[in-house]
Amino acid sequence: TTTNRFPLAIRGAPPRFQEPVHVGRPNTGDRSAFLARIDAMLDRKWLTNNGPLVQEFEQRIAADLGVRHCVAICNGTIALEIAIRAMGLTGEVIVPSWTFIATAHSLAWQGITPVFADIDPTTHNLSPASVLAAVTPRTTGIIAVHTWGRAADINALADIANEHGLQLMFDAAHAYRCTYQGKRIGSFGACEVLSFHATKVFNTLEGGAVVTNDDTLADTMRLMRNFGFAGYDNVVHHGTNGKMVEASAAMGLTNLEALPSFVEANRIRYEVYRERLADIPGVTLVTYDEHEENNYHYIVASVDEPSRVGRDELIDILHAENILARKYFWPGCHRMKTYADIEPTVSLEHTERVAARNIVLPSGPSLTLDGIHLICDVIAFSCKQGLAQP
Ligand code: T4K
């Protein structure tokens, strides 16, 4: 397929896909089971405010992850905000710049300065050395992200936190059903924050949760997500509205049952990508650690020399084919308008390099293996031949 006659939509050929192929297509479990739960919910006339489906969902998640408490929240961002406030973080908190903007926003939104640290270029996870360099007298905590579902360097970060009296929590938005040294993500640090957004491996439409082994922290967060109510007419804490609705829990319970099939479909697709991308010059897949449990949800690669096209050019080529690959998390939080005025206190050179080269490719159960081969045909041709030829 790598001839000069290889048709490309960017040069006027019809696109390879009639319909857009997305990164982050929602995974949905058994439709009739979901609808049966929705029917029962409508019959009960209990739609939100700690309903029976949310309670069941919390118990299932806690059991699944081997953690004492799951506090279900309306989305991952509000879950981060509630966790940050319940932990009493103030001043400065160290976060990676290489993350979805929500990690930084959840701090800045409550007057806390996100201090951006660099990543390890192979794992894309927070670099402990960089965290250490970013610590100041104003630092109160660290939020590490298990980027793409690969666990952060938890032990090294815990050592730094202990030595400097900092609190440590994790943004585990990508890491449902992933492990660190054989133990499921969910009970590390003071707490871990999950996202069940539609685009995640496991979704509740919108949704999130904080999971923790800390009883007091869990109690505080339960108050905070419901305006601080401790019973009828009795407000004992400041709070917000962070409640998960019953329809979300219905989706969550249904999708949790199907999760093993999603993960298996992801793993098969990851293997196909791995094989096909292996011999394309300049394309390097970010691989999963086979000694751990992974959800294989994200297909992440870098595009670099000797590829004949750069990352941005490859994105344009793919988009013309209706393959909507993404540049997550370009340009890095520190370069977004809201944070660009803050002078970074440590070098972000790996973040910069990765941001310029990274591409996230479509995957998931709704994408066929044939589809992946078509996507890889386009990538292989473009990176080997470039666009110079007719
Ligand atoms: N921390 C980290 C590390 C995160 O990655 C995220 C979220 C959070 C915290 C915050 O958690 P939440 O508050 O979201 O629970 C998307 C998601 O909205 C966001 O949840 C996710 N990370 C982020 C990585 O990706 P956008 O702005 O890129 O979304 P959008 O609208 O471009 O959609 C992404 C793709 O998914 C598109 O190609 C279309 C497709 N899609 C999307 C939806 C909603 C569908 O096919 N169907 C759908 O229903 O942020």
Question: Among 255, 270, 292, which residue terminates a domain?
Answer: 255
Distance from C-alpha of 301 to C-alpha of 298, rounded to nearest angstrom = 10
Three-class secondary structure of residue 4 per DSSP: coil
Q: Check whether residue 65 and residue 200 sit in a common domain.
A: yes
- Flag residues of the chain having pLDDT under 50: 1-3
Query: With 0-12 CB in 10 A as exposed, 13-18 as middle and 19+ as buried, what is 149?
Result: buried
Is the beta carbon of 139 within 6 A of some atom in ligand 1?
no
Q: Ligand 1 centre and the CA of 313: distance in Å?
A: 23
Is the beta carbon of 145 within 6 A of some atom in ligand 1?
yes
The pLDDT value given to residue 2: 44
Q: Ligand 1, residue 26: give the atom nearest the CA.
A: 47
Is the beta carbon of 144 within 6 A of some atom in ligand 1?
no
Q: Strand 179-180 to strand 183-184: parallel, antiparallel, or no bridges (unpaired)?
A: antiparallel
The pLDDT value given to residue 297: 98
The pLDDT value given to residue 1: 45
Is the beta carbon of 101 within 6 A of some atom in ligand 1?
no
Is the beta carbon of 106 within 6 A of some atom in ligand 1?
no
Q: Check whether residue 56 and residue 167 sit in a common domain.
A: yes
**Domain for residue 365, yes or no?**
yes
Q: What's the pLDDT tens digit per position in 221-251? A: 999 999 999 999 999 999 999 999 999 999 9
Q: Ligand 1 centre and the CA of 376: distance in Å?
A: 24
Is the beta carbon of 331 within 6 A of some atom in ligand 1?
no
Q: Check whether residue 155 and residue 223 sit in a common domain.
A: yes
Residue reference for tokens 């992850």 = 65
The pLDDT value given to residue 180: 98
Q: What's the pLDDT tens digit per position in 79-128? A: 999 999 999 999 999 999 999 999 999 999 999 999 999 999 999 999 99
Q: Ligand 1, residue 25: give the atom nearest the CA.
A: 46
For 52, the token pair is: 């029976």
The pLDDT value given to residue 106: 98
For 177, the token pair is: 């059903």
Q: Is the dihedral of CA 275, 277, 279, 284 positive or negative?
A: negative
**Domain for residue 3, yes or no?**
no
Distance from C-alpha of 377 to C-alpha of 385, rounded to nearest angstrom = 12
Is the beta carbon of 121 within 6 A of some atom in ligand 1?
no
The pLDDT value given to residue 3: 46
Is the beta carbon of 328 within 6 A of some atom in ligand 1?
yes
Sheet holding 167-171, edge to edge: 69-73, 208-212, 192-195, 167-171, 139-145, 92-96, 113-117
Q: What is the dihedral of CA 268, 271, 277, 282, to 10 degrees?
A: 120
SS3 content of the chain, % helix, strand, coil (to 5): 40, 15, 45
Is the beta carbon of 34 within 6 A of some atom in ligand 1?
no
Nearest CA to ligand 1 atom 20: 197
Q: Check whether residue 185 and residue 83 sit in a common domain.
A: yes
**Domain for residue 1, yes or no?**
no
The total number of structural domains in the chain stands at 2
Is the beta carbon of 295 within 6 A of some atom in ligand 1?
no
CATH of the domain at 286: 3.90.1150.10
Distance from C-alpha of 170 to C-alpha of 154, rounded to nearest angstrom = 9
Residue reference for tokens 């924050």 = 193
Distance from C-alpha of 152 to C-alpha of 221, rounded to nearest angstrom = 24
For residue 384, the one-letter residue type is K
Distance from C-alpha of 348 to C-alpha of 338, rounded to nearest angstrom = 17
The pLDDT value given to residue 389: 61
**Domain for residue 390, yes or no?**
no
Which ipTM score applies to this complex? Answer: 0.98
Nearest CA to ligand 1 atom 36: 24
The pLDDT value given to residue 49: 97
Q: Check whether residue 136 and residue 56 sit in a common domain.
A: yes
Q: Which of 105, 183, 181, 200 is nearest to 143 (CA)?
A: 105
**Domain for residue 244, yes or no?**
yes
- Do residues 197 and 206 touch, judged by C-beta distance below 8 A? yes
Q: Ligand 1 centre and the CA of 195: distance in Å?
A: 10
Q: Which of 143, 135, 139 is nearest to 168 (CA)?
A: 143
> How does DSSP assign 313-382, residue by residue?
HHHHHHHHTTEE-B-TTTT-GGGSTTTTTSPPSS--HHHHHHHHHEEEE--STTS-HHHHHHHHHHHHHH
Q: Check whether residue 179 and residue 229 sit in a common domain.
A: yes
Q: Check whether residue 19 and residue 41 sit in a common domain.
A: no
Q: Which of 183, 181, 182, 211 is nearest to 195 (CA)?
A: 211
Question: Among 240, 255, 270, which residue terminates a domain?
Answer: 255
For 62, the token pair is: 């806690």
Nearest CA to ligand 1 atom 49: 198
Q: Ligand 1, residue 24: give the atom nearest the CA.
A: 36
Q: Ligand 1, residue 329: give the atom nearest the CA.
A: 24
**Domain for residue 351, yes or no?**
yes
**Domain for residue 218, yes or no?**
yes
Q: Ligand 1, residue 328: give the atom nearest the CA.
A: 24
Helical segments of the chain, H only: 31-44, 52-65, 76-86, 101-108, 128-134, 154-164, 215-224, 246-278, 311-320, 349-357, 369-385
The domain in which residue 273 lies consists of 9-26+258-385
Query: With 0-12 CB in 10 A as exposed, 13-18 as middle and 19+ as buried, what is 10?
Result: middle
The pLDDT value given to residue 241: 98
Q: Check whether residue 183 and residue 54 sit in a common domain.
A: yes
Q: Check whether residue 141 and residue 262 sit in a common domain.
A: no
CATH of the domain at 251: 3.40.640.10
Q: Ligand 1 centre and the CA of 100: distance in Å?
A: 9
Mean pLDDT over all residues of the chain? 97
Question: Among 255, 272, 300, which residue terminates a domain?
Answer: 255
Q: Check whether residue 363 and residue 329 sit in a common domain.
A: yes
Q: Ligand 1 centre and the CA of 196: distance in Å?
A: 10
Q: Check whether residue 147 and residue 276 sit in a common domain.
A: no
The pLDDT value given to residue 388: 78
Nearest CA to ligand 1 atom 38: 22
Q: Which of 291, 261, 328, 341 is nearest to 22 (CA)?
A: 328
**Domain for residue 2, yes or no?**
no
Q: Check whether residue 167 and residue 226 sit in a common domain.
A: yes
Q: Which residues of 300-313 are buried (b: 16+ CB within 10 A; e: fewer)?
A: bbbbbeebbbbbeb
